[in-house]
Amino acid sequence: MSLEVVILAAGQGSRMRSSLPKVLHLLAGKPLLQHVIDRARQLSPAAIHVVAGHGADQVRAACEGQALSWVEQRQQLGTGHAVLQALPAIGDDSTVLVLYGDVPLVPVATLEALVGAAASAPALLTASLDDPAGYGRILRDADGEFRAVVEHKDATDFERAVREVNTGILAAPARLLHRYLPRVGNSNQQREYYLPDVLSLALADGVVVQTAPAESALSVMGVNDQLQLSVLERELQRQRAEALLQAGVRLADPARIDIRGSLQCGRDVFIDVNCVFTGTVVLGDGVSIGPNCVLGDTTIGAGSEVCAMSHLQSARVGSGCTVGPFARLRVGTSLGDEARVGNFVETKKAAIGAGSKINHLSYVGDCDMGGGVNIGAGTITCNYDGVNKHITRIGDGAFVGSNATLVAPVEIGPDGFVAAGSTITRPVATGELAVGRGKQRNIKGWTRPGTTDKD
């Protein structure tokens, strides 16, 4: 039987107090809705229908390029009405799984089980909450069988005492939804078409309605405001840190790491506190990351060490390298094995060969550097003439003295030597020494201006 997923994402989310549609708020660097889509995708559904309304254009644009079937719900007349908009695109023979675009952490296994149970009768995911206020309550008969969902606003005080709530997530045979959803009315406090009313209608016709308990309250928690979003952020980060620990990664503090993308680690990796990982980051065996580092879309080879306060974006670091503390490796930086980039060094579009060293206070951009090169403190590649960017080439074994200014385009040949303080504008051939600085003059008998005799 084929599976059709319907994701409800038309609500405004006014309590977020933001101009961004609620489902586009980021959780671990990814829109809430994308989390839901990614999880749904793991069930291999025939289609994923997204019901959009508030900010529909923006929501759609954020999901561009993905195989999704878009349904517009112009007016938000309730969850039942929302699912009804998606039904025309769904055949009788499938199972429908309804998800909320603002409930991002439901385990895939829970969804799988729910879908599995719903082949012939609807199945509803419920949760027991200490504070069920605001939720639809699950009403059961004396035998504990499901009777109905009653919304908080429609419930009596007695019903409000029930702590078992509707998570909103349900699976049902499509033919049941086709039969009963159009019959759901809106004579309730909110004048809305409630999706769970479908269950009561089916029940009245003798259909069995199943319920399944969620594994935890957090796993089915939705986002209505920034506070709830922050709770889920910590929960997801906790899960990720736990998975890393279980995989053998050593974390100085599992509560102080943020993974906003994917982080893949080899054996014996150590990560100190307050590190942030974005995009796709790969750390090889034995890599050590110091405190307060930010790494985005970066690969680090085995045995390399990134010291405190370093920022690496779209960089590739070989094995046995040392980076930082306080290094900034920008897009297109690649370090060969055993290379060293020290404090207050910025690199961009720089291929730095094996064993080369840029230990202090330098800017190396648009640079093609061989291996075994030594760059002295304060060296700058002047890659920009105000209009265009130019390349600096530095051959194997070259030595660039401190405070050199390499005005690109320029080339230092292999084993070339640049004297400290030089401004280099012309190529330096293999093995040559280039001295490009004003000659020192010492003036004898010179008196400091403003120095007067006090007696």
Residue 194 Cβ vs ligand UD1, minimum distance, rounded to whole Å: 4
Residue 224 Cβ vs Ca ion, minimum distance, rounded to whole Å: 5
CA distances 278 to 8, 180, 257, 404, Å, are 28, 45, 11, 35
User: Which residue's structure tokens are 């671990």?
Assistant: 28
Packing angle between helix 108-117 and helix 32-41, nearest 10 degrees? 60
Cα angle 386, 387, 389; round to 5: 90
Residue environment code for 35-61, b if the CB has 16+ CB neighbours within 10 A, otherwise e: bbbebbeeeebebbbbbbbbbbeebee
Residue 168 Cβ vs ligand UD1, minimum distance, rounded to whole Å: 4
Residue number with the shortest CB distance to ligand UD1?
136
* 21 sits near ligand UD1 (criterion: CB under 6 A): no
* 284 sits near ligand UD1 (criterion: CB under 6 A): no
Q: Checking phi first, is residue 425 left (phi over 0); if not, alpha (psi -120 to 50) or beta? A: alpha
Identify whether the C-beta of residue 354 lies closer than 8 Å to the C-beta of residue 369.
Answer: no
**How many Å apart are CA 142 and CA 144, to the nearest integer?**
5
Residue of 151, 258, 305, 366 interacting with ligand UD1 (CB under 6 A): 151
| Residue 100, contacted partner among ligand UD1, Ca ion, none, CB below 5-8 A by kind | ligand UD1
**How many Å apart are CA 62 and CA 374, to the nearest integer?**
46
Identify whether the C-beta of residue 386 lies closer than 8 Å to the C-beta of residue 402.
Answer: no
| Residue 195, contacted partner among Ca ion, ligand UD1, none, CB below 5-8 A by kind | ligand UD1
**How many Å apart are CA 276 and CA 258, to the nearest integer?**
5
Residue 296 Cβ vs Ca ion, minimum distance, rounded to whole Å: 33
Q: Residues with catalytic annotation?
A: 360
Among 78, 102, 88, which Cα is nearest to 49's?
88
* 259 sits near ligand UD1 (criterion: CB under 6 A): no
| Residue 194, contacted partner among Ca ion, ligand UD1, none, CB below 5-8 A by kind | ligand UD1
Binding mask 89-108 for ligand UD1 (x = CB under 6 A): -----------xxx------
**How many Å apart are CA 333 and CA 84, to the nearest integer?**
52
- Indicate the Cα dihedral angle 440, 445, 451, 452, nearest 10°: -170
Binding mask 385-414 for ligand UD1 (x = CB under 6 A): ------------------------------
Residue of 196, 365, 397, 416 interacting with ligand UD1 (CB under 6 A): 196
The DSSP bridge partners found for residue 323 are 306, 341
What amino acid is encoded at 93 in this protein?
D
Residue 166 Cβ vs ligand UD1, minimum distance, rounded to whole Å: 4
Pairing assessment for the beta strands 3-9 and 137-140 based on DSSP bridges: unpaired
Q: For residues 43-62, which are near ligand UD1 according to CB under 6 A?
A: 51, 53
173/222 with CB nearer Ca ion = 222
16/352 with CB nearer Ca ion = 16
Binding mask 156-195 for ligand UD1 (x = CB under 6 A): ---------xxxx-------------------------xx
Among 274, 269, 255, 325, which Cα is nearest to 299's?
269
Of 17-25, 40-48, 219-227, 269-277, the window that binds Ca ion (rule: CB under 5 A) is: 219-227
230/280 with CB nearer Ca ion = 230
* 76 sits near ligand UD1 (criterion: CB under 6 A): yes
Residue of 21, 122, 222, 355 interacting with ligand UD1 (CB under 6 A): 222
* 372 sits near ligand UD1 (criterion: CB under 6 A): no
The footprint of ligand UD1 on this chain (CB under 6 A) covers a number of residues equal to 28
**How many Å apart are CA 144 and CA 128, to the nearest integer?**
15
**How many Å apart are CA 10 and CA 82, to the nearest integer?**
8
User: Which residue's structure tokens are 């779209």?
Assistant: 314
134/248 with CB nearer Ca ion = 134
* 77 sits near ligand UD1 (criterion: CB under 6 A): yes
Helix (H, G, I), strand (E, B) or coil at 159: helix
133/387 with CB nearer Ca ion = 133
**How many Å apart are CA 35 and CA 232, to the nearest integer?**
12
Tokens read off for 326: 């306080």
Q: Which residues bind Ca ion (CB under 5 A)?
A: 222
Q: Which residues bind ligand UD1 (CB under 6 A)?
A: 8-11, 51, 53, 73, 76-79, 81-82, 100-102, 135-136, 149, 151, 165-168, 194-196, 222
